[in-house]
Amino acid sequence: MRFSTALVLTATLFLTGGCQVTSQQQDDALYQDLGERQGIETIVEDLLYRIADDPRIAFQFRGIDVAHFHRQLSDQICDLSGGPCTYSGMDMTESHAKMGVTNTQFNALNEQLILAMEANAVSTSAQNRLLALLAPMHGDIVNTSGD
């Protein structure tokens, strides 16, 4: 009896990689639809170029460590979409507290994200699913009523 219990436990740990699997990780359809890690990194890279060319929001990103930002945003999208990543950056309230982000700027960034996803052949369905996961962050990111 002990042997079979140990065998089942060992098999379970082996199959799950020895780590706890969250329900979000169990449903990785969005992660797949975004092109997995490589696809997400490509979308984020495209997004960064678009941000740099958008006068509505480019100034908010001056002086950032682009490689660090790329890695953190890729991790965050990977994590949110059910991928095997763990976002370990600051929470949205903390990271945007002193930026004075307006609704217009928030929407401009979303517009650029949509354009980056379209340019990388992400389906409208997948785009909408990702945007639905990002939308609740609005209150943590927008911290001024001015537009």
Quote the CA–CA distance of 121 and 115 in Å, as a whole number.
Answer: 10
User: Which among 25, 124, 141, 139 has a CA at the least distance from the CA of 83?
Assistant: 25
Per-residue confidence band for 30, with pLDDT thresholds at 50, 70 and 90: very high
**What is the structure's pLDDT at 20?**
37
Average pLDDT over residues 37-44: 98
Q: Which domains does the chain have, with CATH numbers?
A: 25-141 (1.10.490.10)
Helix axes of 36-52 and 103-119: crossing angle, nearest 10 degrees = 130
Chain CA centroid to CA 24, Å:
13
- Please report which residue ranges of 28-143 form alpha helices under DSSP H: 29-33, 36-52, 66-80, 92-96, 103-119, 124-134, 138-141
**What is the structure's pLDDT at 93?**
61
**What is the structure's pLDDT at 18?**
34
Quote the CA–CA distance of 132 and 129 in Å, as a whole number.
Answer: 5
Query: Contact at 8 Å (CB) between 96 and 140?
Result: yes
pLDDT score of 19 more than 70: no
**What is the structure's pLDDT at 94?**
65
- Each residue of 77-133: pLDDT tens digit? 999 999 999 888 776 666 666 677 888 898 899 999 999 999 999 999 999 999 999
Per-residue confidence band for 139, with pLDDT thresholds at 50, 70 and 90: confident
pLDDT score of 27 more than 90: no
pLDDT score of 35 more than 60: yes
Amino acid at 50: R
